[in-house]
C-alpha cells in the first residue's frame, strides 16, 4: 500500500510573506521528504527562497532544523529569512509586544535585593540608515519562536555569568522615529557582569531571534536582510 503524502502548513514572514501574498502556504510533499526537499519545492515557487539559499533557515516545531531533517504531516514549519538585527505587564522574562515598551517594567522582571548592578539597553528607531532617510520601521516576528529563542539567550547568560538575570522585550508592528524597538536588562551582583551580559544578549538576539525589520525610507522600502 502506498504511503500517504506529507501535508504541511508553512508559515512565511517578512519579504517572503509579501512575495507569496500570504502568511501561510499549504504544501504537499512525497513520503520521507526532508527539509532539503521542502526547500527545493519552495524555491521553484518563490524566487526569494532560491536567492536566499542557506541564509534562509527552516524551523520545525519551533526549532531550526537541518537539511536532512525528516518531515511529518502536522509539523509546525516556518521559513525564517535572515533576521533584522535588529502587551502590558508580564512575569515572563522575554516577550514580544505590539504596544509601546516600558523599560521600567522590563527592569522589574529581574531586579532584586541580591542585585549590585542593573544595566539596560534601549534600542530606538533612528532617522537614517545606510545612506537612506528613514520615515518609519515595521517589525515582524515569529512570536512563539522569538520568545523561546530569547529565553535561550537569558539561560545562556545565566550559565556564562552565574547569578545574572536577563529580561528582553521586543516590539513589532509600526514604529515611528524615536520609538523603542527593544529593551534588554541585565541584573547581576556586580556591574561588570551586568554590562557583559547585556552586550551578549543584544548581540546574540540580532543573530538568532526570528524578528525582521522593514525600513520605509523617503526613497523606497525594503526588508533588512543583514544585521543592522
Torsion of Cα atoms, 144 then 212 then 74 then 97, to 10°: 20
Instruction: Determine the pLDDT at residue 112.
Output: 87
pLDDT of res. 205: 96
In the chain, helix, strand, coil percent, each to 5? 30, 35, 35
Q: What is the pLDDT of residue 113?
A: 86
Residue-level pLDDT at 155: 93
pLDDT < 70 positions in the chain: 1-2, 83-91, 225-228
Q: Kind and range of the H or E element at 133? A: strand 132-141
Q: Which three cell numbers stand for residue 197?
A: 551580559
Residues of the chain with CATH 3.90.1170.40: 94-224
CB 201 within 8 A of CB 154: yes
Res 84: pLDDT? 58
- pLDDT at position 172: 96
Segments of the chain assigned to CATH 3.10.20.30: 6-80
pLDDT in tens, 47-90: 888 888 877 889 999 898 888 899 999 999 999 887 655 433 33
Q: What is the pLDDT of residue 66?
A: 87
- What CATH class has 6-80? alpha beta
pLDDT at 97: 93
- The pTM (predicted TM-score) of the whole model is 0.70
**CB-side exposure of 159: number of CA atoms within 13 Å?**
6
Q: Is the dihedral of CA 5, 9, 14, 18 positive or negative?
A: positive
Q: Report yes or no: 170 and 139 within 8 Å, Cβ to Cβ.
A: yes
CATH of domain 94-224: 3.90.1170.40
Q: Which residues pair with 173 in a beta bridge?
A: 139
Amino acid at each position: 500500500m502506498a504511503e500517504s503524502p506529507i501535508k504541511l502548513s508553512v508559515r512565511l514572514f517578512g519579504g517572503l510573506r509579501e512575495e507569496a501574498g500570504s502568511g501561510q502556504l499549504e504544501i504537499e510533499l512525497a513520503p520521507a521528504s526532508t527539509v532539503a526537499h521542502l526547500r527545493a519545492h519552495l524555491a521553484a515557487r518563490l524566487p526569494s527562497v532560491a536567492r536566499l539559499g542557506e541564509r534562509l533557515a527552516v524551523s520545525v516545531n519551533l526549532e531550526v532544523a537541518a537539511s536532512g531533517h525528516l518531515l511529518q504531516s502536522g509539523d509546525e514549519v516556518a521559513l525564517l529569512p535572515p533576521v533584522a538585527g535588529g502587551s502590558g505587564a508580564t512575569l515572563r522574562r522575554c516577550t514580544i509586544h505590539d504596544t509601546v515598551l516600558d523599560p521600567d517594567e522590563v527592569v522589574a522582571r529581574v531586579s532584586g535585593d541580591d542585585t549590585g548592578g542593573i544595566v539596560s539597553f534601549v534600542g530606538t528607531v533612528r532617522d537614517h540608515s545606510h545612506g537612506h532617510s528613514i520615515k518609519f520601521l515595521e517589525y515582524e516576528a515569529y512570536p512563539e519562536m522569538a520568545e523561546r529563542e530569547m529565553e535561550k539567550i537569558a539561560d545562556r547568560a545565566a550559565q556564562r555569568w552565574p547569578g545574572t538575570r536577563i529580561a528582553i522585550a521586543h516590539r513589532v508592528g509600526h514604529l515611528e522615529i524615536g520609538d523603542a524597538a527593544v529593551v534588554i536588562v541585565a541584573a547581576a551582583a556586580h556591574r561588570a557582569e551586568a554590562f557583559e551580559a547585556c552586550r551578549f544578549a543584544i548581540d546574540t538576539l540580532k543573530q538568532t531571534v526570528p524578528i525582521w525589520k522593514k525600513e520605509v525610507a523617503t526613497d523606497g522600502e525594503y526588508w533588512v536582510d543583514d544585521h543592522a
